[in-house]
Structure formats: structure tokens, C-alpha cells
């Protein structure tokens, strides 16, 4: 990608006779001048956890895997979880997808996280103790993230978790075949070794009393969405109708798996519906997903739907459950109207099934906040201000509890954001998010210097084992593939010292400042020809109007 640069020589000077003055420089010829700048990589911009993806990929492509992992850990304490459960919006935004295929960012993150667990890498707290204490309610991804970042900032964080184990919906909402429990345990244990206190089987029902008893200066509430939505099915036997949250929870905590019968209807179209159907398949049942819209309208991620179909899960699109009898469940076919909305057709069929699992979304139990002064609950979620503080001073909330997309990655990002605002609150200050650079879109790059190199795919378990065991479906990259994948990054918007500008400049108007220090323009000799900006692969040079 780089070109060899010629040796720098003394600039050629053109002398012009203008009256009695001699001009020995070329700067006065320009209408525009080049400037070096940093643009925001689209992957960074798309990451809900706020990772500096381009930076840790840069370290990984040099083979500095521990350095890359430590860069991730500045923003995300759960890379092993995220490398498996995140739906990688960073890859959807990746500019490389317009060249061949997106960089496998999620795959590399998972590889780095597994290296960290294998080698027992730890994070040290460098900030001195602040003397401040923060109560975190809930040991899901948001609560764990908040406690981690609070600990890094020097505060004493205590997590009170009502359940018997930490992990929240990572453990009770994501099946083992997608997220092995030893990965969750390892990343939780790493946070605890930093000095975070984790109290299991500890229910908090009175926040002011708990804060006073523990001498806490602030509180972060991060209770997951554990309450399932349900609808009444006419003539349905209640014992035959289950909810998805309970089924997945029983898979984690029950002595015996849930009794679904030979055939099971899964009612819903989100990722939870797909997870339940794939779980039922592994339990030996024949699952049928019933969803009232089309596949294109299904909220579940397409790759999960595809994996479910590969495993033999049947999906009835444009269908809805209208009733039940002793034979099974009555299904009405739907049709899209001119606005793309499903409408009943009056055509019915019966699916013979032993049970039905409702996967129609979840809600949060907000009753813990009912008696706090100033707290507002709207649309079953807690309203917070820009600082993530509720209407009660010193009580913050995040994750599933607040208006947002409900994913692990978003929850982790909320935990970090809340920790920064809590830190400022404890110091009597206000946290201001730094301004962001302009996004480095594909049109600002020069892809001529890059060759096609499709991403390395992670190994996948064969169908027979996928449908009969709860072994992890997706494997990890090896060291060689991870290195290759990291090197596919285009470094969008940020100079990586390829020397192209230095090599193509016809006026020797660019100075190399040494490894890691990039370059500098000598404007006295630059004619503003824009060759450097045109030939920059990553769009890190911009031509700006000359200030005359």
C-alpha cells in the first residue's frame, strides 16, 4: 500500500523579478493548501460501546495482541461477550464493504478476548482511591460496565444482584450455543478482581435506605428486561402457553429442561423468538416460528434467521395466532396492504403443537423506583436526562431501564457513559463529551492502493452437532487469520504513515517527522497541486482555501 519515497533534496527555487523584490518561494501561487487532519472512522462512530476500533485494529495488525486488547478495555470490559453476542453495527458501517467485504471486526475482538482469558491478562486500577462509594443495582452488562469504569476512575463500586449469578440477560437471555458461560464467568471475575464488590442474592427494594446503610454517594440502577409481554389466546390452556424469558431462564437455572413437547409454536419475530426456536430444536422438539410480517420485516438479525433455517426451524411468515383447541393452535394468514402493514385475510389453518412459547418482547420491573421523588416512568421505562440521571438527584439509570435499543452492546455503552457522569457528579462537576471529527466516508478514500482480500470466516459447527448439543456454534479465528483480518482495515480518515504523500510531492514540500509522528507540510514550497490529497489512501489530507 505504500510507495518508496525518493530521498529528500533541497527544493528547486524559481526566481521571479517583480519590481525590486525577489520571490524565492512558491507559496504565493496557491489558491488552496493541503492540511493533515483526522476523520472519524465509521466503525468507531457506529459502535454503541464507543470503542476506538481503528486504534485496536492497528495494534492487532502489528501483532501486539495484548496492546490491542488493552485498547478495547478502555471502553468495553466485556470483549469476550461482545465478540459473540454483539450484532456488530461497526461492520455494517465499514467502508471496506464497498471494496469487497467488511473487516471482520467482531471476529478479531473475540480472538483478542479469548487470548486475554487464556493468558489471564488483567486490568490495573491506576487512579488513586477517591473515597466515594457507588451502589450499582443489577449485574447485567450495563451494571458490570458501570462498576468497571467507576473502579478505573478510583471509586468504590458495589454491585447488588438479586439473582444467584452475575450476567443478567447475557446469561438468562442468550443461549449457551451463542455465549458459553465460562466466557461470561471469566469476564465477570476479572472485574471483581479489580476491587468491585459483587453481592449475589441481594434484593434492593428501597434505594434511599440501601444507600444510607452502605454509605453510598450515588446509585446506578441497571435492572434488565426480565418481564415477558403476553397476549391472551382464546381457549388456550394456560399450561400449554409459556413465555420466552421463562424458557430461557429455566434452561439456565432449572434442574430439568422445560417440557415443550414434540412440537412447539414460537410466537414472535425477534432475536429472542429465534433463540427459543433454536433451543427447542436442540431439546428434540420441532419448532415453528409464527410471525405476522415478512422475513424482511422481521426484527431478528438476518444471520440468526439463516442459521435457524439451516438447523431445520420452520418459519410461517405473514401469520398470526388467533386461538387454540385440543389439537393445536389456530393460525390466520395475513397479507400486506398498500402501506406494507399486515392485514387479516380470513384464511385459517391449525398447527398441531403441544405448546406455544410467546416471544413478544420484554419489559423492566420499575417498581424499585416508584417511591423515589422526581422519578418519571413513561412507556414502561425510566426517563433520564443527558447525564443519565433520573429525576432523583444522585440516582442514575441505564441499560434496558431507559429508552434505547436493548442489546448487550448498548447496555455496555450505557454503563460507561453513566460512570463518567457519576464521576463528574461526585466531583461536583459536569461531564462534557468531546466533540467528534467529521466521519471518514468512502468517497474520501483512495481505494486504488488496496487489493481485494475477502474476510476470513470463523469456523462453524456442523449441522448434526448444532441441532443435538448446546456446543458453541461459531468458533474463533486462529492467530494467522486474526492477523490477516486486522490488516484488512483501511485506516479510514487517519494517517498510518504509508509515505504516499511524501513520495508523490513534486516539490519536496513534505517532511517526515519520524515513526509515529506522521508528516508536516512546508508551505513555502507547496504549489497546492493536491497530488498528496488525491493519492492519500485513507483520506487524511484535505485541501482548504488559501487564507490570502
Supply the DSSP string of 233-279, one letter for each residue: -TT--GGGEEEHHHHHHHHHH-SS-----SEEEEE--SHHHHHHHHH
Same domain, 113 and 212: no
Q: What is the DSSP string of 382-425?
A: E---TTSB-SSTTEEE-GGGSSS---HHHHHHHHHHHHHHHHHH
Question: Is residue 7 in a domain?
Answer: no
Compute φ and ψ for 542, nearest 5 degrees.
-130, 140
Same domain, 264 and 319: yes
Mean pLDDT of 501-511: 94
C-alpha cell at 11: 527544493
Question: Is residue 58 in a domain?
Answer: yes
Question: Is residue 353 in a domain?
Answer: yes
Judge contact between 115 and 65, C-beta under 8 A.
yes
Question: Is residue 438 in a domain?
Answer: no
Least-confidence region, from 12-16, 62-66, 445-449: 12-16
Same domain, 236 and 222: no
- Among 526, 533, 536, which residue's Cα sits nearest to residue 30? 526
Same domain, 346 and 368: no
Question: Is residue 4 in a domain?
Answer: no
How is the chain split among helix, strand and coil, in percent rounded to 5? Answer: 35, 20, 50
Whether 507 has a pLDDT exceeding 60, the answer reads: yes
Question: Is residue 381 in a domain?
Answer: yes
Final residue in a domain of this structure, among 314, 335, 357: 357
Least-confidence region, from 5-9, 131-135, 380-384, 527-531: 5-9
Compute φ and ψ for 70, nearest 5 degrees.
-65, -30
Whether 384 has a pLDDT exceeding 60, the answer reads: yes
State which residues form the domain around 308.
230-357
**Residue 305 maps to which CATH number?**
3.50.50.60
Same domain, 349 and 415: no
Least-confidence region, from 128-132, 140-144, 512-516: 512-516
Same domain, 390 and 324: no
C-alpha cell at 384: 433520564
Same domain, 216 and 158: yes
Q: What is the DSSP string of 70-92?
A: HHHHTT-S-HHHHHHH---HHHH
Mean pLDDT of 267-284: 95
- Distant-in-sequence, close-in-space partners of 354: CB < 8 Å, separation ≥ 6: 240, 260, 261, 262, 263, 264
Mean pLDDT of 491-513: 94
Same domain, 242 and 350: yes
327 vs 72, more confident? 72
Q: Is 63 helix (H, G, I), strand (E, B) or coil?
A: coil
Judge contact between 473 and 178, C-beta under 8 A.
yes
- Mean pLDDT of the residues in the chain: 91
Q: Is 116 helix (H, G, I), strand (E, B) or coil?
A: helix
Residue 62, number of CB atoms within 10 A of its CB: 13
Mean pLDDT of 255-261: 86
Q: Which residues pair with 519 in a beta bridge?
A: 512
**Domain count along the chain:** 4
**Residue 57 maps to which CATH number?**
1.10.1060.10
Q: Which residues pair with 286 in a beta bridge?
A: 263
According to the model, what pLDDT value does residue 114 have? Answer: 98
R_g of the chain computed on alpha carbons: 28
Question: Is residue 539 in a domain?
Answer: yes
Whether 12 has a pLDDT exceeding 80, the answer reads: no
- Estimate to the nearest angstrom the gap between the alpha carbon of 282 and the chain centroid: 28
Same domain, 238 and 252: yes
Least-confidence region, from 97-106, 223-232, 476-485: 223-232
44-362-258 Cα angle (round to 5): 115
> Where does the pLDDT of residue 391 fall: very low under 50, low under 70, confident under 90, or very high at 90 and above?
very high
According to the model, what pLDDT value does residue 254 have? Answer: 74
Same domain, 244 and 172: no
Task: Quote the DSSP letter at residue 149.
Answer: H
Mean pLDDT of 465-477: 94
Q: Is 288 helix (H, G, I), strand (E, B) or coil?
A: strand
Same domain, 264 and 410: no
Whole-number percent of the chain with pLDDT over 70: 95
Same domain, 26 and 94: no
Distance (Å, whole) CA 352 – CA 87: 34
Distance (Å, whole) CA 355 – CA 88: 34
**Residue 499 maps to which CATH number?**
3.30.70.20
8 vs 305, more confident? 305
Question: Is residue 126 in a domain?
Answer: no
Amino acid at each position: 500500500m505504500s510507495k518508496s519515497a525518493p530521498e529528500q533534496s533541497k527544493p528547486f527555487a524559481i526566481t521571479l523579478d517583480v519590481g525590486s523584490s525577489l520571490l524565492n518561494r512558491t507559496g504565493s501561487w496557491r489558491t488552496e493548501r493541503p492540511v493533515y487532519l483526522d476523520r472519524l472512522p465509521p466503525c468507531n462512530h457506529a459502535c454503541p460501546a464507543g470503542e476506538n476500533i481503528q486504534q485496536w485494529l492497528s495494534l492487532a495488525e502489528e501483532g501486539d495482541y495484548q496492546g490491542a486488547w488493552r485498547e478495547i478495555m478502555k471502553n468495553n470490559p466485556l470483549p469476550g461477550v461482545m465478540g459473540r453476542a454483539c450484532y456488530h453495527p461497526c461492520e455494517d458501517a465499514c467502508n471496506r464493504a464497498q471494496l469487497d467485504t467488511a473487516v471482520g471486526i467482531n471476529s478479531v475482538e473475540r480472538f483478542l478476548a479469548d487470548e486475554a482469558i487464556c493468558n489471564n491478562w488483567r486490568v490495573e486500577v491506576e487512579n488513586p482511591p477517591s473515597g466515594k462509594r457507588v451502589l450499582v443495582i443489577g449485574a447485567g452488562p450495563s451494571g458490570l460496565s458501570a462498576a468497571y469504569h467507576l473502579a478505573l476512575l478510583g471509586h468504590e463500586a458495589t454491585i447488588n444482584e438479586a439473582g444467584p449469578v452475575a450476567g443478567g440477560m447475557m446469561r438468562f437471555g442468550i443461549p449457551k450455543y451463542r455465549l458459553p458461560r465460562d466466557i461470561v464467568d471469566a469476564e465477570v471475575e476479572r472485574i471483581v478482581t479489580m476491587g468491585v464488590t459483587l453481592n449475589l442474592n441481594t434484593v434492593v427494594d428501597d434505594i434511599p435506605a440501601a444507600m444510607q446503610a452502605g454509605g453510598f454517594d450515588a446509585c446506578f440502577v441497571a435492572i434488565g428486561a426480565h418481564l415477558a409481554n403476553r397476549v391472551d389466546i382464546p381457549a388456550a390452556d394456560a399450561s400449554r402457553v409459556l413465555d420466552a424469558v421463562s424458557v430461557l431462564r429455566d434452561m439456565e437455572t432449572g434442574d430439568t429442561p422445560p417440557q415443550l413437547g414434540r412440537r412447539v409454536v414460537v410466537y414472535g419475530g425477534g432475536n429472542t423468538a429465534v433463540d427459543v426456536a433454536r433451543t427447542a430444536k436442540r431439546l428434540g422438539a420441532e419448532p415453528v416460528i409464527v410471525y405476522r410480517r415478512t422475513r424482511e420485516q422481521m426484527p431478528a438479525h438476518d444471520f440468526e434467521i439463516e442459521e435457524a433455517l439451516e438447523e431445520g426451524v420452520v418459519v410461517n411468515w405473514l401469520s398470526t395466532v388467533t386461538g387454540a383447541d385440543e389439537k393445536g393452535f389456530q393460525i390466520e394468514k395475513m397479507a400486506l396492504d398498500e402501506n406494507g402493514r399486515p392485514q387479516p385475510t380470513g384464511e385459517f389453518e391449525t398447527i398441531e403443537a403441544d405448546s406455544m412459547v410467546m416471544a413478544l418482547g420484554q419489559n423492566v420491573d420499575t417498581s424499585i423506583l416508584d417511591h423515589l421523588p422526581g422519578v418519571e416512568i413513561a412507556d414502561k421505562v425510566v426517563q433520564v436526562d443527558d447525564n443519565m440521571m433520573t429525576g432523583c438527584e444522585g440516582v442514575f439509570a441505564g441499560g434496558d431501564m431507559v429508552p434505547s435499543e436493548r442489546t448487550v452492546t448498548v447496555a455496555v455503552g450505557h454503563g460507561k457513559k453513566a460512570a463518567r457522569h457519576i464521576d463528574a457528579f461526585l466531583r461536583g462537576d459536569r461531564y462534557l463529551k468531546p466533540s467528534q471529527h467529521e466521519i471518514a466516508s468512502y468517497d474520501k478514500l483512495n481505494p486504488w492502493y488496496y487489493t481485494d482480500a475477502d474476510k476470513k470466516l470463523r469456523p462453524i459447527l456442523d449441522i448434526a452437532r448444532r441441532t443435538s448439543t448446546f456446543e458453541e456454534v461459531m468458533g474463533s479465528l486462529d492467530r494467522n487469520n486474526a492477523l490477516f483480518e486486522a490488516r484488512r482495515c483501511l485506516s479510514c480518515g487517519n494517517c498510518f504513515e504509508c509515505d504516499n504523500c511524501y513520495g508523490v510531492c513534486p516539490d519536496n514540500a513534505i517532511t517526515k517527522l519520524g515513526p509515529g509522528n506522521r508528516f508536516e507540510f512546508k508551505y513555502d514550497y507547496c504549489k497546492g497541486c493536491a497530488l498528496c490529497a488525491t493519492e492519500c489512501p485513507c483520506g487524511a489530507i484535505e485541501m482548504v482555501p488559501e487564507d490570502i
